[in-house]
């Protein structure tokens, strides 16, 4: 019997249908010579510290570090019944096809079961990019050898063991140090979560330390041959800051007087440059999460759940946890089938299809840039829009539009930069003339840094020496603005592009702007975990770090919270996958590093973190836990200016 081992029941049903395995069994579907079964995510988990010794049941600095000599896994109690099913089927199987998700974690879900159940037979790998029937049949006709993806398993094990070593040891260490300082909460530390938290803490600090500075702009309304346009005054170099802003009001007022008395402005120079913007590529998961956060207000976990539903339930789009935005050149042959499916799904697209050029071969078709997965695109089978929720449909339409944009021309425009002189003062203006709307007629993406007040001006009547009438001069009083709080989409982008935040030139070079914190599959879960544990507070779309989070980031060694170092660890996992680094060498290095940290940090004294409380009913800011004669209570963090209090119910007090 050949056994297909899937990741989820829905995935198992889709594959079983194609294989003709339709008879229901206990936790499986049975065919003539084939059986399909499934996990329910991870059926196994790395054993807890107490499994390695009774002494680890209690938390003590004397018992740290905890470094297993022989790693153990345990069956999750909630899914023990399905584990028994798989164990029995593996004992009967003559061959196994791993059909879990085509990624690092999917490989681990299957391989850890094979190892625990001591399966020693032949193994093949089904590598799926979509769960529609055509994609399943295509993948079944080109099964990979088990050896081809085996190192993915070692990469996942390395990730799992490194996470365990850091999480179990450092969470106990800093929680115990916190208790020594009088804090009775848990200070959780994670290999990925702590550097992610650091990104938000750093932004909070930048906002808190920001000092707003006034500056002044002079806007000049001009016209030439009846065409009005707006120019901006250029302050002299001696009167501007590094961003080119005028910080002296008197200087701006003097400029207004000179310009007003000048009556006309003369064009000194004029330079026009043509730009061609290619259509944006299809989405990878991080970019989809970022765009859905910005445009639709969706959380990153919400976006992942929707993308997973579009893939699994609706069969409308391809594998969502992709880290790639390109498509294999062979998939260009599937364009007619995708188009037909899209039209059957939504006949209202007919006018749009009349503008598409199916022969266009955009930059998206590039074998050299395709990783284990390709960009997220529509499948070759029609979907049912009526069965989608409103949010599912919105995300689906974003994915669809980015695919269709590949068959529209580049967006082309002329950008004109003009310098003028008036009353001895220099002015500048920018104009833009769209020549070919191209893909922007279907999908608007802000892909260039336009000047907000001048981006839509057309300046084709201007030439060098042209005299322009001064119609009005306006002084604008401005203030520099603090950085904005991060949203979930911003945080996903920062996690992915962490190299931009790394100061060490050697690390920056090594990262090459490609490696980030976490993976496409894990980033949403990391952010959700930080929110669920109270480290991140969410107000509308903005994320802020709690007081405990600030204390933790201040206390942990720099390397533990360094986004650049975490990205290097992720790169090491890629090295394991490529066979250039062994699992044992990586874990040994991590264990040694943990032992050094425990020894170094054991004598630290932590500042007691302030527990994040409810919002003050008077002034709408976060409250802090305080002790009074009658016990603890919540007090406004603006005390004594605000004396708002909220009682703490007995059943919520910490013992």
Structural contact between residues 534 and 612, judged by C-beta atoms closer than 8 angstroms: yes
Kindly report the backbone phi and psi dihedral angles of residue 131, in degrees, each rounded to the nearest multiple of 5, phi listed first: -105, 15
Structural contact between residues 429 and 468, judged by C-beta atoms closer than 8 angstroms: no
Specify whether 319 is catalytic: yes
Q: For residue 160, give the nearest of 94, 234, 252, 72 by alpha carbon.
A: 72
Q: What DSSP element (H or E) covers 12?
A: helix 9-19
Q: How far is CA 27 from CA 84, 112, 180, in A?
A: 10, 19, 49
Rounded to a whole number of angstroms, the distance between the first and last alpha carbons of the chain is: 56
Q: What DSSP element (H or E) covers 625?
A: strand 622-628
What whole-number distance in Å separates Cα of residue 466 and Cα of residue 229? 14
Cα 449-455-461 angle, rounded to 5 deg: 135
SS3 per residue for 417-441: EEEEEECCEEEEEEEEEEEECHHHH
Task: Return the CA Rg of the chain.
Answer: 30
Judged by DSSP in three states, 25 sits in: strand
Q: For residue 574, give the nearest of 236, 103, 166 by alpha carbon.
A: 103
Structural contact between residues 471 and 228, judged by C-beta atoms closer than 8 angstroms: yes
Which member of 319, 326, 396, 535 is catalytic?
A: 319
DSSP string covering 298-351, please? Answer: --HHHHHHHHHHHHHTS--B--SS-----B-GGGGGGHHHHHHHHHHH-GGGHH
Cα 429-431-437 angle, rounded to 5 deg: 160
What whole-number distance in Å separates Cα of residue 388 and Cα of residue 562? 41
What whole-number distance in Å separates Cα of residue 99 and Cα of residue 9? 12
Residue 450: both structure tokens together: 């336009």
Catalytic residues: 319
């Amino acid at each position: 019997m050949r056994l297909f081992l899937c990741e989820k029941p829905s995935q198992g049903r889709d594959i079983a249908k194609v294989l003709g395995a339709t008879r229901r069994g206990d936790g499986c579907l049975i065919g003539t010579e084939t059986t399909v079964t499934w996990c329910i995510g991870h059926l196994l988990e790395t054993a807890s510290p107490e499994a390695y010794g009774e002494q680890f049941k209690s938390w003590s600095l004397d018992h740290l570090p905890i470094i297993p000599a022989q790693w153990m896994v345990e069956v999750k109690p909630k899914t023990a019944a399905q584990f028994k099913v798989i164990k029995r089927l593996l004992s009967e199987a003559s061959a196994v096809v791993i059909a879990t998700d085509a990624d690092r974690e999917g490989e681990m879900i299957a391989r850890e079961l094979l190892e625990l159940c001591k399966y020693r037979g032949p193994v093949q790998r089904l590598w799926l990019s979509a769960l529609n029937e055509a994609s399943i049949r295509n993948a079944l006709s080109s099964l990979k050898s088990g050896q081809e993806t085996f190192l993915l398993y070692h990469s996942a094990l390395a990730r799992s063991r490194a996470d365990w070593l850091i999480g179990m040891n450092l969470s106990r260490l800093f929680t115990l140090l916190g208790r020594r300082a009088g804090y009775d909460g848990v200070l959780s530390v994670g290999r990925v979560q702590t550097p992610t938290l650091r990104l938000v803490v750093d932004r909070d600090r930048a906002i808190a330390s920001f000092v707003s500075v006034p500056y002044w702009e002079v806007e000049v309304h001009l016209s030439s041959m009846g065409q009005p346009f707006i120019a901006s005054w250029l302050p002299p170099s001696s009167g501007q800051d590094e961003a080119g802003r005028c910080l002296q009001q008197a200087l701006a007022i003097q400029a207004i007087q000179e310009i007003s008395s000048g009556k006309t402005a003369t064009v000194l120079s004029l330079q026009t440059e043509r730009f061609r913007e290619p259509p944006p590529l299809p989405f990878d998961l991080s970019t989809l999460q970022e765009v859905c956060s910005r445009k639709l207000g969706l959380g990153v976990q919400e976006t992942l759940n929707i993308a997973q539903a579009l893939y699994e339930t609706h069969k409308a789009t391809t594998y969502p946890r992709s880290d790639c935005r390109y498509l294999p050149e062979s998939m260009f042959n599937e364009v007619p089938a995708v188009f037909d499916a899209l039209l059957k799904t939504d006949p209202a697209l007919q006018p749009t299809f009349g503008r598409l050029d199916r022969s266009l071969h955009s930059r998206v078709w590039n074998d050299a840039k395709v990783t284990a997965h390709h960009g997220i695109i529509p499948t070759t089978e029609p979907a049912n829009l009526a069965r989608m929720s409103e949010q599912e449909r919105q995300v689906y339409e974003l994915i669809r539009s980015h695919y269709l944009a590949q068959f529209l021309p580049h967006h082309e425009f002329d950008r004109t930069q003009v310098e003028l002189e008036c009353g001895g003062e220099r002015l500048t203006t920018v104009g833009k003339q769209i020549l070919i709307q191209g893909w922007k007629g279907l999908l608007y993406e802000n892909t260039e840094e336009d000047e907000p007040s001048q981006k839509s001006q057309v300046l084709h009547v201007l030439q060098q020496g042209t005299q322009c009438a001064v119609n009005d001069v306006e002084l604008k009083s401005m203030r520099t603005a603090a950085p904005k709080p991060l949203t979930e989409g911003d945080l996903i982008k920062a996690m992915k592009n962490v190299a931009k935040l790394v100061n060490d030139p050697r690390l920056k070079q090594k990262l090459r702007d490609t490696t980030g914190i976490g993976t496409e599959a894990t980033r949403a879960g990391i952010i959700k975990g930080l929110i669920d544990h109270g480290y991140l507070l969410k107000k509308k779309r903005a994320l802020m770090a709690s007081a405990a989070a600030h204390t933790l980031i201040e206390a942990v060694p720099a390397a533990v919270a360094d986004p650049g170092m975490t990205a290097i660890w992720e790169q090491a996992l890629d090295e394991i996958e490529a066979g250039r680094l062994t699992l044992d060498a990586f874990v040994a290095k991590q264990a040694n590093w943990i032992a050094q940290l425990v020894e170094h940090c054991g004598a630290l004294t932590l500042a007691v973190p302030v527990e994040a409380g409810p919002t003050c009913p008077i002034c709408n800011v976060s409250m802090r836990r305080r002790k009074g004669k009658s016990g603890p209570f919540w007090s406004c963090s603006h005390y004594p200016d605000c004396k708002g209090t909220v009682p703490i119910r007995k059943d919520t007090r910490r013992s």
